Amino acid sequence: MGIILTNNDRIPPITDIRANSALPIAGRYRIIDFVLSNMANAGITNIGVATESNYSSLMDHIRSGSPWDLDRKNWGLNILPPNLEKMTYGAIKGNIDMLAGIQDFIQRSPQTYVILSLGNNIYNIDFADVIEKHIESQADVTVLYKDMKGVEERELSRYTMLELNDEKRVVDIEVQPYYPKTATAGMDVYVMEKALLESIVDECSARGDSDFVKDALSKKIDGLHIYGYEFTGYTDKLDSLKSYYKTNMDFLKKDVRDELFNTERPVYTKTKDQSPTKYGDEAQVKNSFISDGCTIEGTVENCILSRGVKVKKGAVIRNSIIMQDSVIEEDVELSHVIFDKEVFVTKGRKLIGQESYPLCIAKGTKI
């Protein structure tokens, strides 16, 4: 079985109205599509998506799970809103609270093994191989990780860092350390027996602990056999505006696209039967992702455009992410900006951000 916790790292203003997992990426996809597709491609037919807040957009996107072939009579895709009775002082303290809130779903599931996804990470991986290696190694818990040698410390501090011995057994865990001791970054994906997960959640809840990694795995590191599974492909963690912008821009690189949109393990998403994009006589488009239903009459370079975006004559957009149904009027100049849905920019405006600090505009804003 699979469990996906929709992590709520705040990325204002684009997460003010939606969960992080529902953020658009590469134009027509959402962040959750990648982990959901990976699970579906591995033959997992019982998947629970536990939500925390602002989950209406997420529920609208995944609905019955039809694009992932998960609209089934038995099991399939289960959307699991927060259990108010499990909240402490009216709020969820951590992912243990979320797991405790879906204990009934976990207990009812007949599967032996569970893949637990805790974060908003992008990757395309063969989960069937991960499960096979987990069983072969006789590990209690298998943690997915990526070796990030050469990455600066400031970037590594965003991750859960692992220290492994020669047998790939995890001997130490640090959660977002300021000075990382290793370059082995966890991907927030854990494989274990369902019975072990139930035991961990029950014990942590009884003691008032709230974090699966800090309060469970770290404290039990000597008693549990925790092993690492190395992933060598492309992955990134979307937990800030900078990382969200960078990951979207990475989709403009052919090698990243070829890996993430692997024909053997397709990435599925909710389909909308819109008309093809219309390009005007003066339109100039270079190295960009353009979704269906757009109208392009100006210049678009190194951009990600979601469905229904309108770019009028004389407008120039470079190095930007424009979400659904936004309108860019004549002679507008945009560079390094992120627009949420339905942003309207009037004629002649000029908005310039920076790669390290993109300018982000909230949904429905008129400029």
Return the domain boundaries, the chain. Answer: 2-260, 278-361
pLDDT of residue 85: 63
The mean pLDDT of 125-130, rounded to a whole number, is 97
β-pair type (29-30, 24-25): antiparallel
CA distance 130 to 128: 5
DSSP annotation of 223 reads T
CA distance 222 to 334: 53
The mean pLDDT of 130-138, rounded to a whole number, is 96
**Mean pLDDT over all residues of the chain?**
93
Asked if pLDDT for residue 87 goes beyond 80, the answer is no
- Nearby residues of 291 by Cβ (< 8 Å), 6 or more positions away: 27, 28, 277, 305, 306, 307, 308, 309
Is it true that 2-260 and 278-361 share their CATH fold?
no
Tokens 């939500």 belong to residue? 51
CATH node for 278-361: 2.160.10.10
DSSP annotation of 265 reads S
Please state whether the peptide bond connecting residue 13 to the residue before it is cis, i.e. omega within 30 degrees of 0. yes
β-pair type (184-193, 141-147): antiparallel
pLDDT in tens, 297-328: 999 999 999 999 999 999 999 999 999 999 99
The mean pLDDT of 228-243, rounded to a whole number, is 94
- Nearby residues of 322 by Cβ (< 8 Å), 6 or more positions away: 303, 304, 305, 306, 309, 328, 337, 339, 343
pLDDT in tens, 6-43: 876 788 899 988 888 999 999 999 999 999 999 999 99
The mean pLDDT of 332-353, rounded to a whole number, is 97
pTM metric for this prediction: 0.93
CATH node for 2-260: 3.90.550.10
